[in-house]
C-alpha cells in the first residue's frame, strides 16, 4: 500500500491498478487513515476509505465515497469529520452493521407480526390481505428504521388517489401503526413513524334501510325460495340483529329455547365479551324448524356437505337480486333489526344491549331513526294542549 501525495492531478491521471493485481490501496500522505482503493476492473477511478481502529482495537474500513463523486478536498473534510466522531466514541462500521441487522418490514410482518396476531385477532386475515395487496410492495424491502413518516404520509395519500375509500386508506395506516407499536414493544425498532400521520376520519358507513314495500319483497323471497337453509339464516339475522359469523358459529349448547335466550361466547363475539341475545317469536320459530334441533352441534348445517356453513354470500347475492334489492348487504339485516327497535320506541340503550355494542357511540348511528318516535312523544303535548279547552289559543311568546 504505497503512501502518496494525493493531488487532483494524481487522481485524474494515475489511479491505475498494477498488472497482475486485483486491487491496490494508495494512502494519503497528508490525511491519516485516508486512502483510495483502485480495482483492476475500474482503472482510472477509485473509492475513498478511512482506516481506523474501533474500541476493541480492531482495524475497520469506512467508505467515504467514490472519486468520481467526491473531490479530494471533500473527501479529506469528511475523513477528518469521521475521525473526530470516532475519537468521541462513534463507530461508523458498527452503526452500519447494526443498521443491516434491523429486520425488513416483510421479515418483521411475516415472521413476527402475523404469528402473533393470528391466534389473538379475529381480523388477522384482513391484516394479511392489506399487507399483501399494497403494503408489501411499498415497504416490504425497507428496514424498520428506514421507513419515515413522510413515506407513510405519501403512501396513505396515494391509496386515496387510487380510488380507495377514506376508511379503507385509514385501515392501512392503523395496521402500520399497530405493527410498529409491537415492533417497539419487542425491541426490534426504536420509533413509530406512523404515530403522527393524520387519518382521514371520513364516515363512509353505508346502511340500507328498507321501506315497507322493499321489506315485503325481501320477506316474500325468504319465505318461498327453495334454498330454505340460507333463507332461514337470513331470517334469523333479521330477527335477532346478530352478525353473520355469530350465527354461523352458533351451537345448540348456547341456545335455551325454554328461556328464549342465546348466549354468544366471548370467542365469537366482536366485543370479546359473553353476550345474551333475547329470542323473539320469529327467531324461536326458525330454530324450532331446523333439522338440527335437539342436537348438540351447530345450528345451521349445509345439507350438501354435512358441515357448518362458512359463507352464504353466493346464495345471498341471488336472493337479494330476486327481491329487487341488489345493493342490500347481509350486514344490513342487522341494521334493519335495529331500525325495528328504534322506530317502535325502544331506547338506544336497549338497542345497544341487544346488539352487543361495547361503545354507545356505535349505537348513536341509529339515533336519526327515532325521529318518528320523538314526534309521537312531542304530539302528546299537543294532545294535552288541544284538549285543554282552548288553552292553546291563549299562548303568547315569552
Element spanning 168, H or E: helix 166-185
Least confident of 21-35, 47-61, 303-317: 47-61
Residue 130: CB partners within 8 Å, gap ≥ 6?
171, 172, 175
Please compute the mean of the pLDDT values over residues 277-287 and round it to a whole number. Answer: 92
pLDDT of 389 above 60: no
Q: Give the model's pLDDT for residue 258.
A: 92
Q: Give the model's pLDDT for residue 292.
A: 87
Q: Give the model's pLDDT for residue 395.
A: 42
pTM over 0.75: no
Strand partners, 37: 25, 47
Query: What φ, ψ does residue 308 adopt, rounded to 5°?
Result: -60, 150
DSSP string, 381-398: HHHHHHTSSSGGGG----
CATH topology classification for 3-100: Double Stranded RNA Binding Domain (3.30.160)
pLDDT in tens, 68-107: 999 999 999 999 998 888 887 777 766 655 555 789 999 9
Q: Give the model's pLDDT for residue 93.
A: 64
pLDDT-based confidence at residue 391 (cuts at 50, 70, 90): very low
Q: Give the model's pLDDT for residue 271.
A: 66
Please compute the mean of the pLDDT values over residues 273-283 and round it to a whole number. Answer: 89
What average pLDDT does the structure give for the chain? 86
Q: Give the model's pLDDT for residue 207.
A: 66
pLDDT of 124 above 80: yes
* Spans of all domains in the chain: 3-100, 105-185, 212-374
Q: Give the model's pLDDT for residue 398.
A: 43
**Euclidean distance between CA atoms 213 and 103, whole angstroms:** 58
Residue 194: CB partners within 8 Å, gap ≥ 6?
149, 152, 173, 176, 177, 180
Q: Give the model's pLDDT for residue 199.
A: 92
Q: Give the model's pLDDT for residue 270.
A: 66
Ranges assigned E (strand) in the chain: 3-4, 23-28, 34-39, 47-53, 59-66, 255-256, 261-264, 275-278, 301-302, 307-308
Least confident of 58-62, 85-89, 237-241: 85-89
pLDDT of 390 above 50: no
pLDDT-based confidence at residue 295 (cuts at 50, 70, 90): confident
Please compute the mean of the pLDDT values over residues 183-188 and round it to a whole number. Answer: 94
pLDDT in tens, 334-376: 888 888 888 777 777 787 888 877 766 766 766 666 556 556 6
Q: Give the model's pLDDT for residue 293.
A: 87
In the chain, the percentage of residues whose pLDDT exceeds 90 is 57
Q: Give the model's pLDDT for residue 204.
A: 52
pLDDT in tens, 301-345: 998 888 999 889 999 999 999 999 999 999 999 888 888 888 777
pLDDT of 125 above 50: yes
Q: Give the model's pLDDT for residue 350.
A: 82
Q: C-alpha angle with apex 235: 330 to 278, nearest 5 degrees?
A: 105
* CATH number, span 212-374: 1.10.443.10
Residue 89: CB partners within 8 Å, gap ≥ 6?
55
* 3-class SS of residue 98: helix
Amino acid at each position: 500500500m504505497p503512501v502518496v501525495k494525493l493531488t487532483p492531478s494524481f487522481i485524474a491521471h494515475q489511479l491505475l491498478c498494477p498488472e497482475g493485481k486485483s486491487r491496490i490501496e494508495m494512502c494519503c500522505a497528508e490525511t491519516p487513515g485516508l486512502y483510495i482503493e483502485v480495482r483492476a476492473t475500474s482503472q482510472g477511478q477509485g473509492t475513498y476509505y478511512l482506516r481506523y481502529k474501533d474500541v476493541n482495537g480492531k482495524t475497520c474500513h469506512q467508505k467515504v465515497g467514490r472519486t468520481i463523486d467526491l473531490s479530494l478536498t471533500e473527501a479529506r473534510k469528511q475523513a477528518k469529520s469521521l475521525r473526530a466522531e470516532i475519537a468521541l466514541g462513534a463507530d461508523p462500521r458498527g452503526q452500519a452493521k447494526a443498521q443491516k441487522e434491523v429486520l425488513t418490514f416483510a421479515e418483521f410482518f411475516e415472521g413476527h407480526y402475523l404469528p402473533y396476531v393470528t391466534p389473538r385477532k379475529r381480523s388477522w386475515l384482513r391484516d394479511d390481505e392489506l399487507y399483501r395487496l399494497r403494503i408489501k410492495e411499498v415497504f416490504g424491502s425497507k428496514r424498520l428504521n428506514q421507513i419515515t413518516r413522510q413515506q407513510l404520509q405519501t403512501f396513505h395519500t396515494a391509496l386515496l388517489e387510487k380510488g380507495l375509500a377514506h376508511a379503507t386508506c385509514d385501515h392501512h395506516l392503523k395496521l402500520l401503526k399497530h405493527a410498529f407499536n409491537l415492533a417497539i414493544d419487542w425491541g426490534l425498532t426504536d420509533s413509530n413513524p406512523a404515530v403522527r400521520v393524520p387519518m382521514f376520519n371520513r364516515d363512509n358507513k353505508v346502511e340500507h334501510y328498507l321501506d315497507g314495500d322493499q321489506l315485503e319483497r325481501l320477506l316474500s323471497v325468504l319465505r318461498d325460495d327453495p334454498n330454505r337453509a340460507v333463507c332461514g339464516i337470513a331470517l334469523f339475522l333479521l330477527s335477532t340483529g346478530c352478525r353473520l359469523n355469530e350465527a354461523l358459529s352458533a351451537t345448540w349448547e348456547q341456545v335455551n329455547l325454554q328461556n328464549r335466550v342465546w348466549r354468544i361466547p366471548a370467542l365469537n363475539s366482536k366485543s370479546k365479551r359473553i353476550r345474551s341475545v333475547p329470542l323473539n317469536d320469529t327467531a324461536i320459530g326458525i330454530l324450532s324448524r331446523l333439522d338440527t334441533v335437539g342436537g348438540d352441534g351447530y345450528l345451521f348445517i349445509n345439507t350438501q356437505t354435512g358441515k357448518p356453513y362458512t359463507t352464504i354470500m353466493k346464495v345471498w347475492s341471488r336472493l337479494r337480486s330476486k327481491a329487487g334489492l341488489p345493493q342490500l348487504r347481509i350486514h344490513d339485516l342487522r341494521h334493519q333489526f335495529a331500525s325495528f327497535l328504534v322506530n317502535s320506541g325502544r331506547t338506544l340503550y336497549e338497542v345497544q344491549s341487544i346488539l352487543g355494542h361495547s361503545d354507545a357511540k356505535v349505537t348513536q348511528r341509529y339515533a336519526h331513526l327515532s325521529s318518528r318516535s320523538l314526534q309521537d312523544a312531542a304530539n302528546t303535548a299537543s294532545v294535552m294542549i288541544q284538549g285543554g279547552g282552548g288553552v292553546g289559543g291563549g299562548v303568547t311568546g315569552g
